[in-house]
Structure 1
């Protein structure tokens, strides 16, 4: 755990580093998904902000308690514009691809399984990673290509880059 937190990635299983780093990208993805479409009874921005430290554990209450959609949209227009800009989304996509290449090229599943068995942090990270992936799949429930969301971070980013966000049913 200390090696991950202190940034000593060279001594950690590459797949663990990949998952750890992706967990830092998921909050940015969810900010891009939630904040520009924030028109529910419960505001989404505090949950998006908390997800940077708590991951899915901050987002799950929002999805359960957000209430009905209203006609009034809230949010920070300049921030929302940045979160949905192709430049920002392509940057996230590029970083994700680099992480995937590193993790899958240099890592081993057996090494990850060992880390999972011996580290509570890796176990919690893994659960968080899968819950966040599942939440992105749920967010795109009305989209005909939502199956692509099974590719963590990559799938939702591709959808965000190729569709008009106003037609998604977030």
Structure 2
């Protein structure tokens, strides 16, 4: 219960800060978001471009855990995972507050789960992330980015959202490792403490989900239905 309350309070604090205390919106914010979305990047700081696209990578990383974790939950995990593509941690924090511990996978793997469970997916996400991070760090203007961070709500909140997504990953990591019989505390902290690339390394190395037995499926379905 303490865990649920903590995530709920964090969601309220983050929401209040983003809409009340963060720097004000800039007149061109909608135009910038549109240009970032359609690839018209002329005149935009490469750090902002990289960060914006990394905020599309993070929901994919979380989806590789949430769609699996959600098969044993009473709440529709897919709804929160899908919403996170638009609003990031604003959608994931309510899921973390409402979910129950779920160290087992109660179902057979469908096509989507097989895709999300594949190490190939982790490798693709890692390569894409490495390209974006390299581009942003090598081409970006840090002084301009810091100025925008201090004066632009979109850049400010997006940056904090990115940091929060880095910090929240361990909340799902333990159960996902348990579902795979991979219970090594040293590896948990390795994946948990390295921002962004720790979760990606986990997706590249984690064992595949075992197919559950009939007894496990039956008992898990009864728990969800109760």
Give the alignment's TM-score, normalised by structure 2. Answer: 0.66
1:48 to 64, 78, 81: 81
Equivalent residue, structure 1, for 2:215 = none
Equivalent residue, structure 2, for 1:154 = 197
Contact 2:51–2:159 under 8 Å retained in 1: yes
Indicate yes or no: 2:163 matched with 1:130.
yes
User: Within 1, Cα distance between the matches of 2:142 and 2:193?
Assistant: 18
User: Within 1, Cα distance between the matches of 2:59 and 2:73?
Assistant: 19
Contact 1:13–1:107 under 8 Å retained in 2: yes
Contact 2:77–2:95 under 8 Å retained in 1: yes
**CA distance 1:65–1:74, shift in 2 (3 Å):** farther
Equivalent residue, structure 2, for 1:80 = 113
Once the two structures are superposed, the pairs formed by residues 83-94 of structure 1 within 5 Å of their partners are 83-94=116-127
Equivalent residue, structure 2, for 1:3 = 32
User: Within 2, Cα distance between the matches of 1:87 and 1:59?
Assistant: 24
Q: How many residues align?
A: 167
- Runs of 5+ unmatched residues, structure 2: 1-28, 175-182, 211-226
User: Within 1, Cα distance between the matches of 2:45 and 2:57?
Assistant: 19
**CA distance 1:75–1:121, shift in 2 (3 Å):** farther
Shift of 1:137: 3.1
**CA distance 1:70–1:132, shift in 2 (3 Å):** closer
1:105 to 138, 157, 173: 138
User: Within 2, Cα distance between the matches of 1:115 and 1:47?
Assistant: 29
User: Within 1, Cα distance between the matches of 2:42 and 2:120?
Assistant: 30
In our comparison, the structure showing a higher alpha carbon Rg is: 2
Equivalent residue, structure 1, for 2:95 = 62
For residues 24-52 of structure 1, the C-alpha deviation after alignment (integer angstroms, 9 at most, x for no partner) is 11111111011123323323211111111
Give the alignment's TM-score, normalised by structure 1. Answer: 0.85
Contact 1:4–1:17 under 8 Å retained in 2: no
Cα root mean square deviation, aligned: 2.4
Shift of 1:90: 1.1
Contact 2:64–2:117 under 8 Å retained in 1: yes
- Runs of 5+ unmatched residues, structure 1: none
